[in-house]
Amino acid sequence: MPIVVTDTPSDFVDYLTDPGLPVYDMNIPLTQYVCSNPNFGGNAEAAQVIGYANQKIFVDEISKTRINSRTRNIGRLTTGQGYPDDFILLMEHMTDNIDKMRSAPELKNKEYFRDPNLGVEAILNKMVEKKVFGMDCIGFVSQYLVYAGVWQEYKTYYPADYRREFKPVKSLSEVQRLCLVIWNNYHIGIIDNVDSYDSDTDEILVDICQSSSGEAKGPQTNDGVTLRKSPGDAYEGAQKFKIFRAGSPAMPVKAPVYICKMPGLVWQGDLAYD
């Protein structure tokens, strides 16, 4: 039985970044990479500011209700793995209480609260720039699978853990839209479209969606990525593939990858070609 999705990974990128998350009458593009791992920038800014908004500013002063009671998992917002609806709820909570955020002694060193010329929309955009809000690679892929209806909730997988549901391919001829592209156990993306496959050269041209930090920051679509089969094994015996061309904007991680496919997962537009 096929698992049919109607939204592609690039649809999710566009929702997050172009025009961005709908916050009241604003749109806030989530164009930032945030990761809790100190080796990839850490999440100190997110943890401090989001923590303050949740712990110190109540949704209801009488009942002392915190915003986390209305989110699915506020903690994931600080690690780059949050639900989009939770980002929206938190941004609206901050908008409603922007004067309290500005005047908080604990946040007095934040330039986006110090500048009196910044309006709410500019403050929220500056908070994205300063890594209060953003997504990491596993956050993007997992939240896409929730957004598309493949999963009902976020799964706490490291990149290699997705092999519980997505199985490594041995040949580029097996690759299709919605396959995962995985760098050992440290980075992950998802194929948005297969533009062409050349059986003579065993070369494939694809568009890849991911969240990373390089030429572009945060959720992005890298168009025109070329992959070729490479000798040897990748992580835990999977077939290795080489990134021959990094696409545009260029993928920041260019090391060899392996590719995994979920049995039965298909975009509805591809059913017409079967």
pLDDT, one tens digit per residue, over 76-104 is 999 999 999 999 999 999 999 999 999 99
Q: Render pLDDT for 156-201 as a digit per residue (tens, 0 to 9).
A: 999 999 999 999 999 999 999 999 999 999 999 999 999 999 999 8
State residue 273's pLDDT score: 57
Do residue 229 and residue 158 come from a single domain? yes
Q: Are residues 113 and 172 in the same domain?
A: no
Q: From the centroid of its chain, how far is CA 265?
A: 20
**How do 217-233 and 180-183 pair as beta strands?**
unpaired
The single residue listed with the structure tokens 């500056």 is 126
Indicate the pLDDT class of residue 211, thresholds 50, 70 and 90: very high
Residue 144, domain member (yes or no): no
pLDDT of res. 257: 96
Domain boundary among 96, 129, 162: 129
pLDDT for position 40: 85
Total domains present in the chain? 2
158 found inside a domain: yes
Question: Do 173 and 262 share a domain, yes or no?
Answer: yes
Written as six digits, the tokens of 223 are 């168009």
The torsion of the CA quartet 252, 253, 256, 260, rounded to 10 degrees, works out to -100
Whether the CB-CB separation of 112 and 120 falls below 8 Å is answered with: no
Average pLDDT over residues 139-164: 97
Residues 125 and 164 in one domain: no
Length reported for the chain: 274
Q: Which residue has the tokens 């040897």?
A: 232
Is 14 a domain residue? no
- Would you say 178 and 269 are in contact if contact means Cβ atoms under 8 Å apart? no
Of 129, 144, 166, at which residue does a domain stop?
A: 129
With a CB cutoff of 8 Å and minimum separation 6, the contacts of 18 are 29
Backbone angles phi, psi at 157, to 5 degrees: -100, 140
Provide the phi-psi class of 180: left if phi over 0, else alpha when psi is between -120 and 50, else beta. Answer: beta
Q: What separation in angstroms does the CA of 42 have from each of 86, 113, 131, 136, 265?
A: 20, 21, 9, 11, 33
Please indicate, yes or no, if residue 21 is contained in any of the structural domains. Answer: no
Report how far Cα 49 is from the mean position of its chain's Cα atoms.
20
Does one domain contain both 161 and 267? yes
Domain membership of residue 207 as a residue range: 153-271
Domain boundary among 64, 95, 129: 129
Question: Strand runs (DSSP E) across 87-137, as ranges?
Answer: none
Q: Are 249 and 222 in contact (CB under 8 A)?
A: yes
CA–chain centroid gap for 116, Å, is 32
pLDDT value of position 1: 75
Q: Is residue 22 part of a domain?
A: no
Whether 218 is covered by a domain: the verdict is: yes
147 located within any domain: no
The amino acid at residue 64 is: K
In a domain, 161, yes or no: yes
